[in-house]
């Protein structure tokens, strides 16, 4: 019924070979490609901007899922849309006008996602559910790959699934997803699992296939 999607986060890929890495994980069965722009302000790390996203776009044959860790995000939504993002997710904590950010993402022709940090309650999206295409529940403090999954957030995943009801909204989980924690997310109702370090460890296409199979079969 509910299909599972695995979205490798290229944060853990070899940045000198992003195009090749994307083609390799897609060839081994990745459903979406998860991209993590960071501004050094909302999170204590810097990664990539719209020009790099545009450069990798031709290599993504599936869905380019762009998770903005930028505050405020509004100034950059158009640039990331023009760069070819299929999904653009903003953090609820990142700007004063979440409703406006969501509308502007849809106006640009992308699917609108909202990310919730560990301590952010689901209630912040209660009155804009009709403008949301994806809810991203963070199971780490954003900024870096390879962190430990936060078990207390599993209840929030389940509550988000309940809140979604019959609405056509994806429920994505990001942070510390591995063969050990993926079943917790899936059983709580998640349908898109982001995984960075757990997918790219090993560094070869054969590893990527084995790593994604391990998550899928868990
Ligand atoms: C971190 C990013 C994640 C990160 C996840 O802020 O949002 O997408 O790449 O990495 P893992 O799967 O290693 O926790
Ligand atoms: Zn992410």
DSSP state of 34: E
**pLDDT at site 1:** 66
- Asked whether 146 lines ligand 1 (CB < 6 A), one says yes
Q: Encode pLDDT of 152-184 as tens digits.
A: 999 999 999 999 999 999 999 999 999 999 999
* Reported pTM: 0.98
- The annotation status of 144 as a binding-site residue, yes or no, is yes
Instruction: For residue 115, give Cα distances in angstroms to 26, 93, 108, 137, 165.
Output: 24, 8, 19, 6, 18
- Asked whether 147 lines ligand 1 (CB < 6 A), one says yes
Please choose, from the candidates 204, 141, 200, 125, the residue with its C-alpha nearest in 3D space to the C-alpha of residue 175.
Answer: 141
**Rounded average pLDDT over 30-47:** 98
**Rounded average pLDDT over 117-131:** 98
**Rounded average pLDDT over 181-204:** 98
Q: Using CB atoms within 10 Å of the CB of residue 45, give its burial: 0 to 12 exposed, 13 to 18 middle, 19+ buried.
A: middle
For residue 216, what are the β-bridge partners? Answer: none
Q: Quick one: pLDDT band at residue 186, thresholds 50, 70, 90? A: very high
Domain count, the chain: 1
For 191-207, give one letter per residue: b (16+ CB within 10 A) or e. bbbbbbbbbbeeeeeee
Ligand at shortest distance from the CA of 144: 1
Mean of the per-residue pLDDT values of the chain: 98
If one counts every other C-beta atom within 10 angstroms of the C-beta of residue 53, the result is 21
Q: Quick one: pLDDT band at residue 71, thresholds 50, 70, 90? A: very high
CA 167 to centroid of ligand 1, rounded, Å: 26
- What whole-number distance in Å separates Cα of residue 116 and Cα of residue 122? 8
Residue 149: give its domain's CATH number: 3.20.20.70
**pLDDT at site 97:** 97
**Rounded average pLDDT over 21-44:** 98
**Residue of 14, 41, 178, 194 to mutate, ligand 1, most atoms within 8 A of C-beta:** 194
Model-level ipTM above the cut of 0.85:
yes
Asked whether residue 2 carries a pLDDT value surpassing 90, the answer given is no
**Rounded average pLDDT over 182-203:** 98
**Rounded average pLDDT over 66-84:** 98
**Rounded average pLDDT over 47-76:** 98
Instruction: For residue 156, give Cα distances in angstroms to 10, 177, 184, 199.
Output: 25, 15, 12, 24
CA 71 to centroid of ligand 2, rounded, Å: 15
- The annotation status of 200 as a binding-site residue, yes or no, is no
Q: Which residue stretches of 45-92 are H helix? A: 50-56, 74-82
Asked whether residue 62 carries a pLDDT value surpassing 90, the answer given is yes
**Rounded average pLDDT over 1-21:** 96
**Residue of 140, 172, 199, 215 to mutate, ligand 1, most atoms within 8 A of C-beta:** 140
The SS3 call for residue 63 is coil
Are the beta carbons of 76 and 107 closer than 8 angstroms?
no
CA 91 to centroid of ligand 1, rounded, Å: 14
Asked whether residue 77 carries a pLDDT value surpassing 70, the answer given is yes
- The annotation status of 174 as a binding-site residue, yes or no, is yes
Expressed as residue numbers, the domain containing 139 is 5-217
Are the beta carbons of 47 and 37 closer than 8 angstroms?
yes
- What whole-number distance in Å separates Cα of residue 83 and Cα of residue 125? 27
**Rounded average pLDDT over 35-41:** 98
- Asked whether 36 lines ligand 1 (CB < 6 A), one says yes
CA 164 to centroid of ligand 1, rounded, Å: 24
Write out the catalytic residue numbers. Answer: 36, 174
Helices 18-27 & 205-217, crossing angle to 10 degrees? 50
Radius of gyration of the chain (CA): 16
């Amino acid at each position: 019924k509910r299909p599972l999607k695995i979205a490798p986060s290229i944060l853990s890929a070899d940045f000198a070979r992003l195009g090749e890495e994307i083609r390799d994980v897609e060839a081994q069965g990745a459903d979406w490609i998860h991209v993590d722009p960071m501004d050094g302000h909302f999170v204590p790390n810097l990664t990539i901007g719209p020009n790099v996203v545009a450069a990798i776009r031709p290599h993504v044959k599936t869905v380019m899922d762009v998770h903005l860790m930028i505050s405020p995000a509004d100034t950059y939504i158009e640039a990331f849309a023009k760069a070819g993002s299929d999904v653009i997710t903003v953090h609820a904590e990142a700007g004063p006008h979440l409703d406006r950010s969501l509308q502007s993402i849809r106006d640009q022709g992308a699917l609108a996602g909202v990310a919730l940090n560990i301590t952010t309650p689901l209630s912040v999206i209660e009155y804009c559910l009709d403008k949301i295409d994806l809810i991203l529940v963070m199971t780490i403090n954003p900024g870096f790959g390879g962190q430990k999954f936060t078990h207390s957030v599993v209840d929030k995943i389940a509550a988000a699934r309940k809140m979604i009801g019959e609405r056509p909204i994806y429920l994505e989980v990001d942070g510390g997803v591995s063969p050990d924690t993926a079943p917790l997310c899936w059983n709580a109702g998640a349908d898109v699992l982001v995984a960075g370090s757990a997918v790219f460890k090993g560094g070869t296409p054969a590893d990527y296939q084995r790593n994604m199979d391990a998550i899928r079969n868990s």
